[in-house]
């Protein structure tokens, strides 16, 4: 068992009885995991011993008001429009050349028309995913182009 898995099991289990044999054995054999688990156990017991401080009555209202007043920066576009166009052209030519490639034609000759369906499904999924991501990424441009009002 790796150290990360062992520590993770100790963090998420309520008692040692719930742990796997491998985790208990790893803790027994690995001094660094024993130290790390002991540190976590000490910190957890210290947290449990601390007194709970009640939040002020209007605490959540103050936080919500502060969040409403906070101006969030506009999200940057991940890709420029011309990169989307290049990717679309690449996908389009991949679909076109894929249907006339020698391996595809050889498979089609061997399997007959049955090989068209799986390839068509793959190309359809690829084109649909590209279209969905393209529209989602450029929604502001489309709404501006079509003069649609954006909800606030």
Q: What is the pLDDT of residues 62-117, one digit of tens each?
A: 888 888 887 766 655 556 777 888 888 888 888 788 777 777 777 777 777 777 77
With contact defined as beta carbons under 8 Å apart, do 6 and 27 qualify?
A: yes
Distances (CA, A) of 141 to 65, 120, 134, 145, 151: 31, 30, 11, 6, 15
CA dist 129 and 45 (Å) reads 49
CA dist 3 and 34 (Å) reads 10
Which position has the higher pLDDT, 144 or 77? 144
Q: Where do the domains of the chain lie?
A: 3-49, 81-145
Quote the pTM value.
0.39
The burial of 127, by beta-carbon neighbours within 10 Å (0-12 exposed, 13-18 middle, 19 or more buried), is given as middle
């Amino acid at each position: 068992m790796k150290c990360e898995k062992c520590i993770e099991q100790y963090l998420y289990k309520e008692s040692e009885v719930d742990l796997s044999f491998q985790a208990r054995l790893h803790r027994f054999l690995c001094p660094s995991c024993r130290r790390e688990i002991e540190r976590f156990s000490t910190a957890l017991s210290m947290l449990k011993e601390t007194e709970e401080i009640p939040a002020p009555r209007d605490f959540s209202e103050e936080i919500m008001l502060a969040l409403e007043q906070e101006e969030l920066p506009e999200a940057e576009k991940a890709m420029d429009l011309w990169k989307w166009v290049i990717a679309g052209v690449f996908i389009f030519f991949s679909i076109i050349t894929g249907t006339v490639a020698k391996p595809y034609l050889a498979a089609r000759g061997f399997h007959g028309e049955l090989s068209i369906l799986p390839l068509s499904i793959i190309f359809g999924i690829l084109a649909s995913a590209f279209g969905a991501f393209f529209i989602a990424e450029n929604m502001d441009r489309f709404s501006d182009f079509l003069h649609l009002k954006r909800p606030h």
